[in-house]
Amino acid sequence: MAILSRIEFPLTIKVNGPLHIGTGFARGLLNRTVVKGRDGLVYIPGSVIKGKARAASEALARQYGMADCRAPHPHRMREGISADKPCLICNIFGAPGSGSRLRWNLAQLTPAWRMALKPNPKQDSALGQTTNRTQVQLSRKRGMALEARLYTSELVTEGLEFQSKPALSGQLQLTPVTLAEEADVYYELILLFAGLKLTRFLGGGVSRGGGECEFPVEEEDVTIDGRIVPVKRQLDHAHLLEFYKEEMGS
């Protein structure tokens, strides 16, 4: 039986390749700029993290037959999480007409990187956090570059590290894994953390070698109703996802 619990956990993101999370606006000679906060430092929006985590979790859930919704098409998704046998994906991430009880927060540069890039909080800019790359637009149909289609993108420098504390907080219906050898192991958390662990790219320009990242979630702890539980415990039981349908009687 699922239990409504309050969860909270931090998240670290290591950027291993040039990252572009765009604003949709140009600035000066830059055609594509990246998001920055009021302090001028780059950050990763919570919505971007949630979207990538959902996509990876959906792929994993489909592999084990644990979800039958197909985002982002509302007519192909469950009406909400109040059904007798709710979709795990909709339970974790929300569905049309029934939002998630969880809040995804933005990830900022770690304190060490903030100090290194902007030692004086009053200075206008942070040097070294971004780089520019001029590229040409390609025609995938023709397999060649398009004429007069040069553009310059702003990219977050590879090697930076971001943190979100907490990255995720709120309430979630948790279904205990009865076959687990340890306490506090839940199908929803296995799926969520495995999805984050499988996420390898963020932002745009992936086909051009951009956005490579790493989510070392196994190094963190999740707080469940005040109890501190290692995330690694959930990941160690990922093989039990194949028994979800059997346990739910479907």
Q: What are the percentages of helix, strand and coil residues in the chain, rounded to 5?
A: 25, 35, 40
Contact call for residues 163 and 99 (beta carbons, < 8 A) = no
Under 8 Å between Cβ of 190 and 202: no
In tens digits, what is the pLDDT along the chain, a chain of 250 residues?
678 999 999 999 999 999 999 998 888 888 889 999 999 999 999 999 999 999 999 999 988 888 766 666 665 665 444 445 557 888 898 877 777 889 999 999 999 999 999 988 888 778 889 999 887 766 667 666 666 677 788 999 999 999 999 999 999 999 999 999 899 999 999 999 999 999 999 998 787 778 899 999 999 999 999 999 999 999 999 999 998 888 877 5
- Select from 8, 12, 5 the least CA-distant residue to 218: 12
Residue type, 166: P
Q: In whole angstroms, what separates CA 53 from the centre of its chain? A: 4
Given the structure tokens 């076959």, which residue do they identify?
A: 179
**Rounded Cα gap, residues 1 and 174, in angstroms:** 8
Axis-axis angle for helices 187-198, 46-63 (nearest 10): 110
pLDDT value of position 125: 79
pLDDT for residue 28: 85
Q: List b or e across 185-199, with b for residues whose CB sees 16 or more CB atoms inside 10 angstroms.
A: bbbbbbbbbbbbbeb
Q: Which pLDDT belongs to residue 99?
A: 74
pLDDT at 197: 96
Terminal CA-CA length for the chain: 14
Residue 248's pLDDT is what? 76
Q: What is the pTM of this model?
A: 0.87
pLDDT at position 138: 67
Q: What is the C-alpha to C-alpha distance for residues 146 and 149, in angstroms, rounded to an integer?
A: 6
Residue 100, SS3 per DSSP: coil
The values of phi and psi at residue 221, to 5°, are -120, 145
